[in-house]
Amino acid sequence: MQKDMQANEITTLTRTTSPWQQIEIRHHPKFGNQLIIDGDLQISESDRSYNVAMVSPLIMLGTFGRVAILGGGDGGVLHELLDIDHVQGRDLEQAVMIDIDAEVTRLSREYLPGLCGDAFDHPKAEVIIGDVFDYIETHKDLDGVIYDLTIDPVREGQTRREFLQELMQKVAQSLKPGGMLNMQCCGTKPFDPETGVSRQEIMADIESALIGDFHEFMEQRVFIPSFGEAWTFLAAKRK
């Protein structure tokens, strides 16, 4: 969030605690409404570039077919996928968005229409409130998987590299050969300003998790307005 904005210019529209996390919707005078989870900015209405970056590599598939969005409860990635399919005729059969927290989706419908539009109600869309890990373990032959979740381990005692290797193996098994994975990774600064972890270390962990089952890597660095920096996205095809 831009440091030159005065605190009183940013207003809280609603705040709630779900069974999973604290969720807040704020209004920023420059970036529009924003989704904040556990005090961390997730996305703003100004940030369509994030959603475009998450979806655009799938265009290389020619046709979209069956796509799963892991996370992305604000609906922005889902909306962008549906919009590109509508404009370009990418033969999307079904887009399934899986997110653990129904409150994120509910609040996004109400406060973030600039991101999600009517995507949650689109006939080609299915919204599942549930565990993404359960979903990818039980679904096969997907054409695309968009990973819009944390890259940090969700279990205690597990390193980031261990978490990613376990997860990406499951993602690979859910994709058909030649299917596409695209994921958000990290910022482009040498070190994360909050954790101090180096970008080089994060990207090495991600690439180590992918190299066994994926190839034809494509990295994007895209400026996200409300983040105030470029963000790294990585796409790859299943071998």
CB 229 within 8 A of CB 187: yes
**7 pLDDT above the threshold of 70:** no
Phi, psi of 134 (to 5 degrees): -60, -40
Which ranges of the chain does DSSP label H, i.e. alpha helix? 48-55, 76-88, 102-111, 113-116, 132-138, 160-174, 199-210
Assess whether 143 carries a catalytic annotation: no
Q: What is the pTM of this model?
A: 0.94
pLDDT tens across 75-109, in order? 999 999 999 999 999 999 999 999 999 999 999 99
C-alpha dihedral (76, 121, 25, 182), degrees to nearest 10? -20
Q: Which of 47, 85, 143, 148 is catalytic?
A: 148
Residue-wise pLDDT for 177-210, tens only, equals: 999 999 999 999 999 888 889 999 999 999 999 9
- Non-local (6+) Cβ contacts of 194 within 8 A are none
135-194 pLDDT, tens digit each: 999 999 999 999 999 998 877 889 999 999 999 999 999 999 999 999 999 999 999 888
- Token pair belonging to 96: 């399934």
Bridging pattern class, strands 142-148 and 92-99: unpaired
**Domains defined for the chain, CATH in brackets:** 47-238 (3.40.50.150)
- CA 97, CA 129: separation in Å to the nearest integer? 8
